[in-house]
Chains A and B, each alone.
Chain A
Amino acid sequence: MVVSDYRIYGETGEWEVVIGLEVHAQITSNAKLFSGASTTFGAEPNTQVSLVDAAMPGMLPVPNAECVRQAVRTGMAIGAKINAWSRFDRKNYFYADLPQGYQISQLYHPIVGEGSITVLTDDKDEASAVTIGVERIHIEQDAGKLMHDQHPTMSFVDLNRSGVALMEIVSKPDMRSPAEAGAYVRKLRAILRYVGSCDGNMEEGSMRADVNVSVRRPGAELGTRTETKNVNSVRFVMAVIEHEARRQVELIEAGGAVAQETRLYDPDNNVTRTLRSKEDAHDYRYFPDPDLLPLELDDAFLQACRDSLPELPDAKRKRFESLGIGAYNASVLTDEVETARWFDSLLEAGAPPPQAANWVASELFGALNRMGKTLVDSPVTPHNAAELLKLVADGTISGSLAKQVFEIMLETGEGAARIVEERGLKQTSDTGEIDAIIDGILSANADKVQQYKDGKEALFGFFVGQTMKAMAGKANPGVVNERLRAKLV
């Protein structure tokens, strides 16, 4: 555990920032939380709305078991207490995007209790690990969307999102710097994507954060916090914290006091603005939803949830490191679930782990970057990549030949062995053939041989290069080295 030394330096001294995050994550599910309506993103307005979502008279919510399952699996993935008995409550307020006049949520008895997430603020350094407490995860309905740009005097309502299932993941106020908060959101996103409970797509609004910030003298009592709603990228979360902490320090140092209020972030101008003050805060009149029975989860359901969990990022990274992969590569290869899955397939296909990690992190990522592609649409399959790496490992081709073969693989999508075979790119260790080439090169460069023998040892590389060139790169570099040394004595 490290203590963050992130500080705001004001006119009167140092200030520590205290951060808590409430992350809203859309649960991956074909249907909404309490209705059968579809959840596909980007559909025409009001085309994914059931009678329940529109709160027609007499309509009733029925819980979607898949959403419950995903919330439980998410809780298990952060080592949280799972509440076998939980309950839905109504949060009452009026707004045009809220057809029922209440949101079904879980205030009093959330489905998931305390857990934690460990984040590294420095990818290369295990010592930078910080454990962030998670207070709870509860399930709730999303609201619809208002469109203010469709008519000069009216607002339009799109209920496609109305009733979509969200998990609200509430952290403890355990973060002390924008970097920790950023790492927390990235790690949480990775876990959700590993588990498959949320696609983590912040641009489409599948994940967004309410950012709670307060400042205090280092180690002092907690200050008054503000909550900035609906921040939809890691970068913006960090920007909100930086901006809000500075604003609060300036306010306090000027003799003012921070008001407990809800704020909105304006990314165009990188400022936060008051949305509503504490005085305007709603009285949500929470009470148990009488349309729904308490959720009771039996042992078989919980066990099935547990059994269905995949290997999670931390465990995977440790396993990769135990295979001889460096800390940085292990981190890069486990950050994104698609990368981790691809790399696991590569290992399963027999690729040697450390070499495979280096190759993926440099060669493959470099090539994909150039091509504007990601691993998901990589022209090289894990199977073919493993073949290539094995050919290098067993000495069939040299590293430089491997680069050529890889380029051909990228273009054609063909297997490495076939390319090597068909194009005659196999490396040769035939000393007779290599000797003959070396002899020719040495006699054609007698002056340089003399200079080498006079002590200009740097010329050794020249002879190696000439030999390789003459053999079109197919000579085994080890054998070439060995034969050259023998002949140049």
Chain B
Amino acid sequence: MFELTTKTIAELRDGFRGGEFSAREIAASFNDAVVAGRALNAWTVETPELALAAADVADAARGGGEMLPLSGIPLGIKDLFATEGVDSTAGSNILRGFKPPYESSVSGKLKAAGAGMLGKLNMDEFAMGSSNETSAYGPVISPWKRNDGGNTALTPGGSSGGSAAAVAAGMAPGVTGTDTGGSIRQPAAFVGISGIKPTYGRCSRWGIVAFASSLDQAGPMARTVLDCAILLENMCGFDAKDATSLDLPVPQWEAGLSSDLKGKRVGIPREYRIDGVPDEINAIWDHGIAWLKDAGAEIVEISLPHTRYALPTYYIIAPAEASSNLARYDGVRYGLREMGVKSLDDMYSATRAAGFGAEVKRRIMIGTYVLSAGYYDAYFTKAQKVRTLIKRDFTRAFEECDLILTPTAPSAAFGLGEKMSDPLAMYLNDVFAVPASLAGLPAMSVPGGLDSQGLPLGLHLIGRECDEQGVLNAGLAIEERAGFTARAEKWW
């Protein structure tokens, strides 16, 4: 039954509806693949029974009930999403064993649309990381290997590393990710799949463990652009429980998919030609430009002058918000509690020292620092102002173009351990992804090709606010032309 695990969501949906196979067969295939792929460490919790239960409901519906949009489709859910009765730990020891009595709005919508859940996906602790190495469960190992004959374990990227690996290894046809500064797009690029972060506010943040509230957005990751459109439609929507939720109808992105880009202008930001970026990255970017031109788009050079400040700005704002968002993990009400020697303060210190990993502590320290009296204006206020300028860069650029094309990441996947000792080198992974996060814009990574080491490289599309359709359509145009069919050779 493993051949089912090579199918896309659209293929599974059509085959299931057409009676080629049952939902139970789909779920069982993926459950088996999850077990077979344990060496990748992509899952924090496996829930085969939940996948099967949803499949049985879908099979019964096919026998005469009403079919739902995702009937028969099992998914993986990033561990950042609260899932009722199932461990939801944000990849952190401080939440080890935490079973929420509630379901996040996004995962709830997917379930309400008929999807089953295969399990929870490993991730960088509290989504802080670009390699999945900060997870309390240990790193996820990419299904990809370099073609140099060596056996170096590679990162699947992060923070949605488990999500990326699960799709790339055929353990799930689609998954949820979250993206604060590239956490959907960079892992998607590293493992050769597609992933989209919608406009900030499209997906409710309710029930998603908060990292940086003004940046966090959920989104889907899957093999194809079409699959991303299908999932995205069933994840978005206004939610009265999230005050920052966009009160707009959800477009029919799947029905609106078209790779004809006639009349579209695609902007190429000159500031994204960064020194030190490998030639192969620039080469794949040039391919992308050619493919979009071939699809009918006009290519224009644009300027996003504040790009170079995006990363520092992000690394002030995101830690500042995180330092406050993570204050609730104090050992008082849920999660880990380490009793201190004598006082409440001791309990806090002991609990947080034992519960948080090094990267999370680093960001709490940075965030606390930039919000401190005497430093607030120099750091936080300044960063907010620069963020406004970065948004304005995009507003101006979109007067000259409809979409922006860049590489997704400045390199292909790197080896586990290669960058853990150098946080700044790690942060550079998101140099192309972060500006769109700061501006709240929809952005997507689609596979562009393989580098000389045989590793996937991604192309990155940024759209106007709420123009997910434009992003998906350009992604589809690239997908059709890139002919990216490479799969990680199974070694696990």
Least distance between B444 CB and chain A CB atoms (Å): 24
Q: Which B-chain residue is minimally distant from A55 (CB atoms)? A: B328
Does B241 have its Cβ within 8 Å of any Cβ on chain A?
yes
Which residues of A lie under 8 Å from residue B380 when comparing CB positions?
A: 287
Q: Which A-chain residue is minimally distant from B215 (CB atoms)? A: A290
Which residues of B lie under 8 Å from residue A286 when comparing CB positions?
A: 371
Q: Of the listed stretches B200-208, B250-258, B469-477, name the one at the interface; the rest are far from the partner chain.
A: B200-208
Contact: B210 with A58, CB < 8 Å? yes
Q: Of the listed stretches B94-102, B186-194, B296-304, B399-407, name the one at the interface; the rest are far from the partner chain.
A: B94-102
Contact: A60 with B368, CB < 8 Å? no
Which residues of B lie under 8 Å from residue A157 when comparing CB positions?
A: 332-333
Known: A283-B373, A285-B371. A293 touches B321 (CB 8 A): no
Does B334 have its Cβ within 8 Å of any Cβ on chain A?
yes
In the assembled complex, the Cα of A286 lies from the Cα of B324 at a distance in Å of: 10
Least distance between B483 CB and chain A CB atoms (Å): 40
Contact: B327 with A100, CB < 8 Å? yes
Task: Pick the contact of B207: A55, A58, A63, A95 (CB < 8 A).
Answer: A58
Contact: A92 with B95, CB < 8 Å? no
Task: Pick the contact of B82: A58, A62, A99 (CB < 8 A).
Answer: A58
In the assembled complex, the Cα of A207 lies from the Cα of B119 at a distance in Å of: 50
In the assembled complex, the Cα of A57 lies from the Cα of B208 at a distance in Å of: 7
In the assembled complex, the Cα of A283 lies from the Cα of B374 at a distance in Å of: 10
In the assembled complex, the Cα of A95 lies from the Cα of B90 at a distance in Å of: 23
Contact: B327 with A57, CB < 8 Å? no
Residues 222 to 274 of chain B near chain A (Cβ within 8 Å): 240-244
Which residues of B lie under 8 Å from residue A283 when comparing CB positions?
A: 372-373
Contact: B333 with A61, CB < 8 Å? no
Least distance between B136 CB and chain A CB atoms (Å): 15
Does A176 have its Cβ within 8 Å of any Cβ on chain B?
no
Known: A55-B333, A57-B90, A59-B206. A287 touches B324 (CB 8 A): yes
In the assembled complex, the Cα of A57 lies from the Cα of B371 at a distance in Å of: 22
What are the interface flags for A21-51 relative to B under an 8 Å C-beta threshold, 1 for contact and 0 otherwise? Answer: 0000000000000000000000000000001
Contact: A56 with B334, CB < 8 Å? yes
Task: Pick the contact of B212: A60, A95, A290 (CB < 8 A).
Answer: A290
Does A292 have its Cβ within 8 Å of any Cβ on chain B?
yes
Least distance between A122 CB and chain B CB atoms (Å): 44
Does A291 have its Cβ within 8 Å of any Cβ on chain B?
yes
Contact: B333 with A58, CB < 8 Å? no
In the assembled complex, the Cα of A55 lies from the Cα of B212 at a distance in Å of: 16
Does B209 have its Cβ within 8 Å of any Cβ on chain A?
yes
Which residues of A lie under 8 Å from residue B30 when comparing CB positions?
A: none
Residues 371 to 398 of chain B near chain A (Cβ within 8 Å): 371-373, 376, 380
Interface centre among A63, A90, A286, A291 (most CB of B within 10 A): A291
Interface centre among A94, A283, A285 (most CB of B within 10 A): A285
Interface centre among B88, B212, B242, B243 (most CB of A within 10 A): B243
Does B35 have its Cβ within 8 Å of any Cβ on chain A?
no
Known: A96-B332, A287-B380, A290-B212. A60 touches B241 (CB 8 A): yes
Q: Which A-chain residue is minimally distant from B321 (CB atoms)? A: A290
Does A101 have its Cβ within 8 Å of any Cβ on chain B?
yes
In the assembled complex, the Cα of A291 lies from the Cα of B209 at a distance in Å of: 12
Does B16 have its Cβ within 8 Å of any Cβ on chain A?
no
Q: Which A-chain residue is minimally distant from B345 (CB atoms)? A: A94
Contact: B98 with A57, CB < 8 Å? yes
Does A479 have its Cβ within 8 Å of any Cβ on chain B?
no
Which residues of B lie under 8 Å from residue A129 when comparing CB positions?
A: none
Contact: B321 with A60, CB < 8 Å? no
Does B29 have its Cβ within 8 Å of any Cβ on chain A?
no
Task: Pick the contact of A293: B206, B243, B333 (CB < 8 A).
Answer: B243
Which residues of B lie under 8 Å from residue A90 when comparing CB positions?
A: 324
Contact: A285 with B206, CB < 8 Å? no
Interface centre among A54, A60, A62, A96 (most CB of B within 10 A): A60
Least distance between A139 CB and chain B CB atoms (Å): 14
Q: Which B-chain residue is minimally distant from A34 (CB atoms)? A: B243
In the assembled complex, the Cα of A285 lies from the Cα of B322 at a distance in Å of: 13
Task: Pick the contact of A291: B95, B243, B328, B348 (CB < 8 A).
Answer: B243
Contact: B324 with A285, CB < 8 Å? yes
Task: Pick the contact of A94: B214, B327, B372, B376 (CB < 8 A).
Answer: B327
Does B47 have its Cβ within 8 Å of any Cβ on chain A?
no
What are the interface flags for B330-342 relative to A under an 8 Å C-beta threshold, 1 for contact and 0 otherwise? Answer: 1011100000000
Contact: A102 with B209, CB < 8 Å? no
Least distance between B385 CB and chain A CB atoms (Å): 13
Q: Which A-chain residue is minimally distant from B326 (CB atoms)? A: A101
Interface centre among B333, B334, B380 (most CB of A within 10 A): B333
In the assembled complex, the Cα of A96 lies from the Cα of B240 at a distance in Å of: 29
Contact: B82 with A291, CB < 8 Å? no
Residues 69 to 106 of chain A near chain B (Cβ within 8 Å): 90, 92, 94-96, 99-102
Does B213 have its Cβ within 8 Å of any Cβ on chain A?
yes
Task: Pick the contact of A60: B95, B206, B320, B376 (CB < 8 A).
Answer: B206
Which residues of B lie under 8 Å from residue A290 when comparing CB positions?
A: 212-214, 244, 321
In the assembled complex, the Cα of A54 lies from the Cα of B333 at a distance in Å of: 8
Least distance between A146 CB and chain B CB atoms (Å): 9
Contact: A51 with B373, CB < 8 Å? no
Does B6 have its Cβ within 8 Å of any Cβ on chain A?
no
In the assembled complex, the Cα of A276 lies from the Cα of B156 at a distance in Å of: 50
What are the interface flags for A263-302 relative to B under an 8 Å C-beta threshold, 1 for contact and 0 otherwise? Answer: 0000000000000000000010111001111000000000
In the assembled complex, the Cα of A157 lies from the Cα of B334 at a distance in Å of: 13
Q: Which A-chain residue is minimally distant from B206 (CB atoms)? A: A60
Q: Which A-chain residue is minimally distant from B347 (CB atoms)? A: A96
Known: A56-B334, A102-B327, A285-B324. A291 touches B244 (CB 8 A): yes
Contact: A287 with B376, CB < 8 Å? yes
Contact: B243 with A61, CB < 8 Å? yes
Least distance between B133 CB and chain A CB atoms (Å): 22
Known: A102-B327, A291-B213, A293-B243. A51 touches B371 (CB 8 A): no
A sample of 16 inter-chain contacts (CB < 8 A) reads: A55-B333, A57-B90, A57-B209, A57-B334, A58-B82, A62-B241, A90-B324, A92-B324, A92-B327, A94-B330, A99-B328, A99-B332, A101-B324, A155-B344, A157-B333, A293-B243
- The 9 lowest CB-CB distance pairs between A and B, nearest first, are A101-B327, A285-B371, A290-B213, A290-B214, A55-B328, A58-B207, A57-B209, A58-B82, A283-B373
- Contacts A57-B88, A157-B333, A285-B376 supplied; 9 other A-B pairs, CB < 8 Å: A56-B100, A56-B334, A57-B90, A61-B243, A63-B243, A95-B344, A286-B371, A287-B321, A287-B376
